[in-house]
């Protein structure tokens, strides 16, 4: 069969699968959606373990008991799976951190402590989805130009700005040291929290609440006004 004919057949098959996928998503059937969730969880584990680039759709499908072609019935690409892994956890965390920053019942230092605890809680509740983002974000997300990646970058910067503004405000109020640049102090927070992707797992000896409390204590005691 001529190469051109094979290409046409492949395009037709891909188009048919895309139509079936769109139809199934629209119908929102429980079995179909459950399989999508299973694939998302498997992909998250594989991305966390092997990295985005090294993981293949065939590998993800095999662990779900599907061949590579059938995976396309649920997701159009590996990038789409990656996007779904990040969508819920990142958005939920930003929303909660924003709420904390706007809570007038908390003083500035208490907000910093609450946000650090919230981030650790998010890492636990959305494990390993949030850690996949940390692992891939620097080398992958920031270089992407798609709408979804730019939205994700915007959300991350919003979270970073919340932390920076709270540290700055606390220093102005005389509650935290002013001799340490705010940017360095903020990076200390991000460094402590984000590095947990190398060692934290739900069910570990120290739970997320304990770790969040310990980290906030280390940071706030070190930054306490002398």
The 10s digit of each residue's pLDDT in 145-162 is 778 778 888 888 999 999
Evaluate the omega torsion of the peptide bond into residue 56 and state whether it is cis, within 30 degrees of 0: no
Assess whether 108 and 48 both reside in one domain: no
- Of 58, 76, 94, the last residue of a domain is 76
Largest alpha-carbon pair distance within the chain?
80
Judgement on whether residues 55 and 7 belong to the same structural domain of the protein: yes
Domain end residue (candidates: 76, 93, 116): 76
Per-residue pLDDT for 11 more than 60? Answer: no
Number of domains in the chain: 2
Same-domain pairing of 111 and 62:
no
DSSP 224: B
Quick one: 100 and 206 in the same domain?
yes
pLDDT of 7 reads: 40
Q: Indicate the burial class of 74 (C-beta count within 10 angstroms; 0-12, 13-18, 19 or more).
A: buried
The percent of residues above 70 in pLDDT, for the chain, comes to: 90
């Amino acid at each position: 069969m001529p190469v051109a004919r094979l290409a046409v057949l492949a395009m037709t098959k891909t188009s048919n699968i895309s139509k079936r996928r769109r139809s199934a998503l629209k119908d929102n059937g429980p079995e179909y959606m459950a399989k999508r969730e299973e694939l998302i969880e498997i992909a998250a584990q594989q991305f966390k373990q092997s990295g985005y680039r090294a993981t293949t759709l065939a590998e993800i499908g095999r662990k779900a008991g599907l061949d590579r072609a059938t995976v396309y019935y649920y997701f159009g690409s590996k990038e789409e799976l990656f996007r779904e892994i990040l969508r819920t956890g990142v958005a939920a965390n930003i929303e909660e951190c924003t709420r904390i920053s706007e809570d007038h019942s908390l003083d500035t230092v208490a907000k910093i402590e609450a946000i650090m605890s919230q981030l650790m809680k998010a890492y636990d509740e959305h494990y390993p989805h949030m850690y996949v983002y940390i692992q891939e974000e620097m080398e992958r997300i920031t270089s992407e130009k798609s709408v979804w990646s730019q939205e994700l970058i915007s959300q991350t910067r919003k979270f970073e700005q919340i932390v920076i503004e709270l540290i700055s405000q606390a220093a102005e109020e005389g509650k935290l040291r002013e001799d340490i640049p705010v940017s360095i102090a903020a990076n200390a927070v991000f460094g402590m929290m984000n590095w947990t992707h190398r060692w934290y797992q739900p069910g570990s000896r120290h739970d997320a609440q304990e770790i969040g409390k310990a980290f906030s204590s280390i940071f706030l005691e070190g930054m306490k006004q002398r």
